[in-house]
Structure 1
Amino acid sequence: MNLVDRAFGASEFSDAEEPGIFTWELATDKVYADSALANLFGLDPEQTLTGLPVIRYLDRIHPDDKPSVAKAISESVITGNPYRCDYRVFDRSGQIVAVAALGRCFRDEDGNPSQYAGIVFPTNDHVQQDELSAHCSAALKIARSSGLQATADALEAILKELAKPMPSDVAQVH
């Protein structure tokens, strides 16, 4: 792929793998993002281009990861230090996508935080677990349609267990 293709929209990434960029205007609490970030976070691309409140993005973060992500972003805004965080988000289909985010808060001439910019990209850390979950979900549908309630109950328990964060899966702030 040539440089022009890369600069003007062609990508070597699939839609699910494409990194997304954003800017957050702190005074208005609006995050402006490209369609790649919209896809990662399961949001409407037209709305992300015209700006959404930051809470709309935070709502798409896995509940177990949300506190550490919010803390890392807050610390970056307060200190001006770069932000780097690994966490999980829910895409449009409700699937969990492991991502890494990098960003930085910029200040106005008076030293007040004003703009925050960054990039979020999928890390594929959960590919095997997601595949296992997908197979278990398919087996659950078959068990239910076949009237195998004990098997369906067991598969539901497995899916609940797979949804729990594993020690290596929890959000890590760097």
Structure 2
Amino acid sequence: MDLAEEPGIFTWDLATDTVYADSALANLFGLDPEQTIAGLPIIKYLDRIHPDDKPSVAKAISDSVVTGDPYRHDYRVFDRSGQIVAVAAFGRCFRDAAGNPSHYAGIVFRTNDQSQQDELSAHCSAAFKIAKSSGLQATADALEAILKELATPIPSGIAPLH
């Protein structure tokens, strides 16, 4: 299995706020594998989540830590080149003998939504051409902006890692 397709495994020590992860997770999140294996603060992973997805991911993880319920969430991250990668994550918070949250473990894997994005781009492109040829300039402008957003791999303010 190619590392790009391999699921990433992690464990998060809540007391030290250190996430230990394998090289597959490093690859998904665009992080250095040596650093992920040695452990990084959770914020390093949260920084790689798409800004539109970050609040819901943070809330879902927090809810899982508080309740002890399993975590399941779909979201987008930026890989090393700054490309958006759709992922699905499963996790669970484990408690110590006193019942306090102590460790959180899970798995993250790439999902295949590229075909959906390609289809969306194709439909928007067709709608753009129709709006343009029909003289609907405001609609054409809006669709052109959407097409540019769909083609942009990374929003401003988030620098790709090299």
Name the Cα RMSD after superposition: 2.5
Residue 16 of structure 1: how far off its partner (Å): 1.4
Q: Cα gap change, 1:79/1:53 in structure 2, threshold over 3 Å: closer, same or farther?
A: same
**Deviations for 1:38-89, whole angstroms, at most 9, x for unmatched residues?**
0000000000000000000000000000000000000000000000000000
What's the counterpart of residue 141 of structure 2?
Answer: none
**Deviations for 1:79-107, whole angstroms, at most 9, x for unmatched residues?**
00000000000000000110000000000
Q: Whole-Å Cα distance in 2 between the matches of residues 128 and 75 of structure 1?
A: 29
Residue 126 of structure 1: how far off its partner (Å): 2.4
What's the counterpart of residue 108 of structure 1?
Answer: 96
What's the counterpart of residue 86 of structure 2?
Answer: 98
Q: Whole-Å Cα distance in 2 between the matches of residues 58 and 101 of structure 1?
A: 13
What's the counterpart of residue 128 of structure 2?
Answer: none
Aligned residues: 133
* Percent identity over paired residues: 84
Unpaired runs of 5+ residues, structure 1, are 1-12, 134-155, 165-174
The reply on whether 1:84 has 2:69 as its aligned counterpart is: no
Give the secondary structure class of the aligned counterpart of 1:88. strand
AA at the equivalent of 1:92: R
Q: Whole-Å Cα distance in 1 between the matches of residues 10 and 114 of structure 2?
A: 24
What's the counterpart of residue 126 of structure 1?
Answer: 114
Q: What is the correspondence of 1:70-81 to structure 2 with a 5 Å cutoff?
A: 70-81=58-69
Q: Whole-Å Cα distance in 1 between the matches of residues 119 and 59 of structure 2?
A: 31
What's the counterpart of residue 27 of structure 1?
Answer: 15
Q: So what's the TM-score if we normalise by structure 2? A: 0.74
Q: So what's the TM-score if we normalise by structure 1? A: 0.70
Q: Whole-Å Cα distance in 2 between the matches of residues 57 and 160 of structure 1?
A: 27
Unpaired runs of 5+ residues, structure 2, are 122-143, 153-162
Moved over 6 A (4+): 130-133
Residue 125 of structure 1: how far off its partner (Å): 1.1
What's the counterpart of residue 44 of structure 2?
Answer: 56
